[in-house]
Structures are given as structure tokens and as C-alpha cells.
Amino acid sequence: MSIFLISSLVIFLTLLFSSLILWRINTRKYISSRTVATAYDSWTQDKLLERLWGEHIHLGFYPLNKNIDFREAKVQFVHELVSWSGLDKLPRGSRILDVGCGIGGSSRILANYYGFNVTGITISPAQVKRAKELTPYECKCNFKVMDALDLKFEEGIFDGVWSVEAGAHMNNKTKFADQMLRTLRPGGYLALADWNSRDLQKQPPSMIEKIILKQLLEQWVHPKFISINEFSSILINNKNSSGQVISSNWNSFTNPSWFDSIFEGMRRPNSILSLGPGAIIKSIREIPTILLMDWAFKKGLMEFGVYKCRG
């Protein structure tokens, strides 16, 4: 083995060991909605997540038996959820609320491709600032800083409500559903995707699974996970819901995202290196959590739930 390869391996192992220490010491526990905002402000301002994941900070949709690029899969996910949920049945010009809009990737597709007028909300001021920077003037999107548990909109003002991977950050899932459905007009469409645990009442976690769930909660500011059936029941029993709720587990379509998110750093090394040495540590620091997520979703401890219902 050459001296170059040996030294490269030593550097990598040193960085990995350092990141594991940081991973255990500097957890991102959920304390309040403020901690969620702070975490996403940090992820947005250091530009690392955007450089690696692009403008879509969510998992991708990988059609079975078809090779697809990591970033293309994220765009594919938006179109698949629009089609599956029936949101594409709405006419152009319909008013859509994007709850947990991130830096506006989905909002811009909903506006540009489907012709919707989109309002995106996030609790992170840095995300709103970046979403506005990335959105052309002619794109029918506007972005606001707002808590999803306290939406400042009138009842029934939106024709559709869209939310992807935001619910896992909500400490009150019932209020989360209530706020979205309250703003959805009668007959409007709700399209939602989220990270769920399996039903832990019916199938209690083992000791190892408890440890893994604890890490998944503490590393990415999640207060708690609930099952697909639990959240479906919350939607069904909401007074503003038609009661006709359909849910599905998309693990088989989204699971490749986890390893792909790690490989993306290898495919685009300059996206990390150009941000300086600190970005290398930060990117490696996330690898243990990503690997735990991959394991949990593949083993069925976690489930990628998608939901659709009418107002």
C-alpha cells in the first residue's frame, strides 16, 4: 500500500473518530420549536446540506428496477406524491400551502410545473431567506416564517395542503393535523409524507431498537415518532376531514436515499471541500445518523408514511 493511501486512510479514520465523538456529545435534542428553527438555520447558513442534497431537503422516490440519480429522485418524489394524492386534479391557479417548505424546492415545482399559487411556511428564518433567494420573481411562490402548530391563516383558505417530512418535528401531531385541515377548504386535497415508527404498541421495540430510536430522535431534533396507523386515525377523526383517509408505506421507494446521500459527497467532493475543513467534519458527523436511519427503515422499525385525504 502506498504512503499516499496509508496517510489518506489515517486522515479519514481520524475524521471519522472525531465525528463520532462530536455526534455523541453534540446531540440536537428537541426542546421546543425554537430548537428546530435553530437547527435548520444552522444547516441552511453553512450551505452544506444544500450543496449535497440540492434544493430538495427530503428523500427521493426510486422507481423499482430503474436507476435514477439522487437529485432526480427528489424531483421524482414530488411528482409521484402529487399524482398519488390527487393534487394534480386541482386547476392551475389553485392556492396551495406548503407546510415545512425548507428552501422552497417543492414549492417551486408545484408553482412552475402545475401552475399553483404556493405559500410556503417554515419555522426557520434562514430557510425563508434562502428560499426567496432561489425563487425567480415570476414564480408564483411566497415564503413566510411561521410555526406549523399555529398557522396564521383563515379557515378554508387553501385548495390544497402539502407537507413533506415536517411532521416528525412536531411535538403535537393532533394539533399539526388540525392546523393543516383547518386551513383546507371543503373538498380540498391534503398530500402529506412523513417519517413514522412502526406500531410500537403492537410490536414493542427491543433494547437495541430503543437505543436506535433514541439516537434518531436526539440527533435531528425530533420530539417523537408515531405509526402510520396512529397518524391516519388523527386525520380521520379530525372535524375538518372528510374521514376518507388513505395511507401507504413507501419504504421500498425511498430507502435508497440514505446510502445515496452519503455517496453524493463522493460524487461531488468539491461541494464539501469548497466550504472549508469544517465542512468535512460536519459532513462526516452526519454519517452515523444516516446509517442508523438506513438500518431502521430497512428493518421496518421506521416507515415512510404517505397520506391523502379531502377536506
Between strands 302-310 and 246-249, the pairing is antiparallel
Question: pLDDT (tens digit, 9 = 90+) per residue, 111-126?
Answer: 999 999 999 999 999 9
Residue 309 one-letter amino acid: C
pTM of the model: 0.91
Residue 193, sorted as left (phi over 0), alpha (psi -120 to 50) or beta, turns out to be beta
The full DSSP string for 37-90 is: HHHHHHHHHT-HHHHHHTT--S-----TT----HHHHHHHHHHHHHHHHTGGGS
Residue 7 has pLDDT above 50, yes or no: no
Residue 15 has pLDDT above 60, yes or no: no
3-state SS class at 235: helix
Domain limits, the chain: 21-310
Residue 278 has pLDDT above 50, yes or no: yes
C-alpha span between 242 and 235 (Å, rounded):
9
Question: CATH code for 21-310?
Answer: 3.40.50.150
